[in-house]
Amino acid sequence: MEGEKLSRREREKRWQRQEMLAAAIELFSEKGYHNVSMNEIAKKAEFAIGTLYKFFKNKEDLYRSIIAELSGKFHQAINEVLEGRGDEIEKLRNYVKAKAAIFMDNVSIVRLYFAETRGASCNIKAGLDLEIREKHERHLQDIALIFESGMNNQRFQRIAEPYHLAVSIDSLSNAFLHLWLEAPDQHPYPEDPDVILNILFKGLLDPGES
């Protein structure tokens, strides 16, 4: 999609930018936006502050670049799965799988992403915030469609609004990934999507009760 005409200099710039982003990601996810100074980031990345400011207009811009990049990757990966082939069950399983894969590959950024999609975040002046919410919302809609379609196929029972089910599967996968984040060894589960799916799929109550 992109022209491959990159001068040596340009490749170097790209590399430097990545180095800076990597340092910033690590620090932000560890200590939170407000508890990291530009100096600290520059030092960690082994550049002078001035250089940092050559690449990013200001601290907020740097932060946004990080979130935008992650959000891009994330959104794209999820999209591929949701638009891919397979019946409803497969799609949901793939969704859970894909999410886990991305998260495990980007552990440090994930904390930031959680903070953005969940909590009051640390309130980067909205803007990006909104963009992420929107992408997230769109995912939920797409997932809701899968549930809807499954219901129309008689493959699923209408135990709840499709949108609510979408919220549920999203929230459950987050919760389990969170569990894994805190103690990766004690929870080998998220790698197995069925642990999560079963909770939605199999009825808890013994069939035959209220």
Partner DNA sequence: TCATTATATGAATCATGCGTCATTTTTTGT
Partner DNA sequence: ACAAAAAATGACGCATGATTCATATAATGA
Question: Rule CB under 7 A: which residues touch DNA?
Answer: 8-9, 16, 35-40, 47-51, 53-54, 58-60
Residue 97's nearest CA partner among 164, 179, 169, 203 is: 169
Is residue 164 classed as helix, strand or coil in its secondary structure? Answer: helix
Which residue in the set 12, 164, 184, 188 belongs to the binding site for a second copy (CB under 8 A)?
164
CB of 104 to a second copy, least distance (A): 17
Which listed option, a second copy, DNA, none, makes contact with residue 11 (CB within 5 to 8 Å by class)?
Answer: none
Which listed option, DNA, a second copy, none, makes contact with residue 132 (CB within 5 to 8 Å by class)?
Answer: none
Q: Exposure pattern of 1-28 as b/e (b: 16+ CB <10 Å)?
A: eeeeeeeeeeeeeeebeeebbebbbbbb
CA distance 150 to 147: 5
Which listed option, DNA, a second copy, none, makes contact with residue 8 (CB within 5 to 8 Å by class)?
Answer: DNA
Q: Contact 197/168 with Cβ under 8 angstroms?
A: no
Compute the C-alpha angle 103/64/20, nearest 5°: 80
CA distance 33 to 36: 6
Contact flag: residue 155 with a second copy (CB under 8 A): yes
Contact flag: residue 200 with a second copy (CB under 8 A): yes
Can you spell out the DSSP letters for 111-133?
A: HHHHHHHSSSTT---STHHHHHH
Kindly write out the interface string for residues 104-123 of this chain, putting x where it contacts a second copy by CB under 8 A and - elsewhere: -------xx-xx--xxxxxx
Query: Nearer to a second copy by C-beta: 51 or 198?
Result: 198
Q: Contact 167/140 with Cβ under 8 angstroms?
A: yes
Contact flag: residue 206 with a second copy (CB under 8 A): yes
CB of 18 to DNA, least distance (A): 13
CB of 6 to DNA, least distance (A): 13
Contact flag: residue 22 with a second copy (CB under 8 A): no
CA distance 163 to 60: 33
Contact footprint for a second copy (CB under 8 A): 29, 31-35, 111-112, 114-115, 118-123, 154-157, 159-160, 164-165, 167-168, 170-172, 174-176, 178-179, 189, 195, 198-207, 209
